[in-house]
Amino acid sequence: MENKKFYITTPIYYVNAKPHIGHAYTTIAADVLARFYRQQLGKENVFFLTGTDEHGAKIQKKAEEAGKSPQEFVDEISSEFKKLWAKDKLNIEYDNFIRTTDGTHIKAVQRVLQTLKDKGAIYKGEYEGLYCVGCEQFKNEDDLVNGKCPDHGTAPDLMKEESYMLKMTEIQAELLEKIEKEEFKVTPEKYKNKIVSFLKNQTLHDVSISRKNVSWGIPLPFDESHTTYVWVDAFLNYLTGLGWDGDENNLPEMWPVDINLIGKDILRVHATIWPAILIHLGIKLPKIIFTHGHILSDGKKMSKTLGNTISIDEMLEKFGTDGTRYLLLSAGPFGEDIDVTMERMVEKYNADLANGLGNLISRVIKLAEGYEFENKNEYDPLIWNKGFIEAFWMDKALERISDHLIRKSNKYITDNKPWELKKTDEAKFKEVMQKLISDLYLVSELFIPFMPETSEKIKKALETKKLDEVLFQRIK
Ligand code: MSP
């Protein structure tokens, strides 16, 4: 991707419940990508947007159950997300955190709706169909398993009501062409194929974009007895999060999105309704929609009933900020479903981080005390990471650092026994140490996007020849 700027987004998260490991996974991945592109393009040329999706029936219901006003409820949960992204927790360096209850977002959404209405893309109709409140989405019969939504295990409601509709059928051919030609790139390939075959085999029905009986939403500017369908409200965050006011002739400099990072559960809406809105408005589509898989626990979806939930707080407590970031991203190929268990994570933490990296640093720093070494590393860390990051192979990037640098360096120490050389052959000792130190400088640079604090600590230890703490204490 030869780009001068880079704009990446996460989905905005529903605030019906506190953040969990799945939300953390998407957000850490986006943060790693953003940090890498900042290294490559400069801070000012990168924009990383995340935030919370705060309207709709599901949240309204949860607030009622909690005995709180919707606003009070969403304020609380949204702040939980912010706290989890903070430096002392997951250390997510976003450029903006958008909330769909922000006044500026609401105004821009209303302006867009008015434009769509004026352009004839929205008309008043009636909708009849099955609706899953958990997904906040309409369902076809063939989306269901035994009559239930497979993601929520509940039967959808039958809805029949007056509704404003967004024209989808008329943009279908254009959308299909853009996806096939990869002007709007849906990736990995298997997801592109899924969407292409969906668009080839089914006629897109016009989409209901308003609700008469949901009060917790943005009122339609041309009919205040309806509120905006939560997905239409939500998609526009990718524009309003850049400070956009809803004028399609005046787009932010960062536009278009370079990467909309999403989970597979929300691919279909992102590859249909979202581009449809933009096509109607005459706005360029995102360049890439990247879909990652889900985190499973022991082969199954995490659920409270199954008791196989791993909480993100538990991970943070055990593995710390960088340990958690490392373990989630290295748990499996990004793009596939990945399976995590606490046992395997502890094993990996001990192998890669405590015995691997932590041990290496402490041995090298101890041996280097009292000597001067420079950074003679000749590899460009950006080039080293580039291929992997551009292909979204974060797990492979980490594996390569671990294998090619950390494990090899530890073996190099064992093979060369620098503590003996120090007494018997000082010239050789210096040569061995110089190689280790240079490789560790490279490690510290390569880890900048993945483990920013650790990377700084390694660099500082190399410069001062002092390490005041054990990096990654072994877990029993
Ligand atoms: N609010 C919508 C998104 C609107 S974007 C315009 C939404 N929110 S969500 O909170 O339910 O989920 C958002 C995202 O969280 C998912 O798409 C996915 O990226 C991530 N994950 C939620 N559960 C997950 C797992 N178990 N595993 C990995 N990621 C998952 O949908």
Given pLDDT bands bounded at 50, 70 and 90, which one contains residue 318? very high
- 132 in catalytic set: yes
What confidence tier does 138 reach under pLDDT thresholds 50, 70, 90?
confident
* In the chain, ranges of CATH 3.40.50.620 domains: 6-292
**Percent share of the chain, pLDDT over 70:** 99
Compute the average pLDDT of residues 119-128.
Answer: 95
The tens digit of pLDDT for each residue in 144-173 reads 999 998 888 889 999 899 999 999 999 999
| pLDDT of res. 411 | 97
Q: Pick the catalytic residue: 68, 82, 264, 301? A: 301
pLDDT, mean of residues 210-226: 97
pLDDT in tens, 248-278: 999 999 999 999 999 999 999 999 999 999 9
Q: How far is CA 413 from CA 70, 348, 360, 444, 465, in A?
A: 60, 22, 9, 18, 17
11 CA → ligand 1 middle, Å:
6
Confidence of residue 304 (pLDDT cuts 50, 70, 90): low
- Per-residue pLDDT, averaged over 187-207, amounts to 96
* Angle made by CA atoms 235, 103, 273, in degrees to the nearest 5: 15
The residue from 4, 304, 423, 476 that is catalytic is: 304
301 is catalytic: yes
Q: Note the pTM of the prediction, 2 decimals.
A: 0.96
Query: Alpha carbon 226 to chain centroid distance?
Result: 32
Helix 273-281 vs helix 172-180: angle between axes, to the nearest 10 degrees? 110
Counting from 1 in the atom list of ligand 1, the atom nearest the Cα of 16 is: 10
- The torsion of the CA quartet 76, 81, 86, 88, rounded to 10 degrees, works out to 90
pLDDT for residue 3: 67
Decide: 193 and 209 in contact? Cβ < 8 Å: no
* pLDDT computed for residue 307 by the predictor: 73
Q: For the segment 428-447, what is each residue's pLDDT rounded down to a tens digit?
A: 999 999 999 999 999 999 99
Distance of CA 40 to the CA centre of its chain: 19
pLDDT digits (tens, 9 = 90+) for 41-79: 999 999 999 999 999 999 999 999 999 999 999 999 999
- Tell me which of 55, 58, 62, 149 is the catalytic residue: 149
Give CATH 1.10.730.10 domain extents, the chain. Answer: 342-464
Q: Which CATH class is domain 6-292?
A: alpha beta
Domain 342-464: give its CATH code.
1.10.730.10
Catalytic, 149? Answer yes
Both tokens of residue 399? 């594996």
Lowest mean pLDDT among 68-77, 127-136, 416-425: 127-136
Task: Return the exposure string of 178-205: e unless at least 16 CB atoms fall within 10 Å of the residue's CB, then b.
Answer: bbeeeebbbbbeebbebbeeebeeeebe
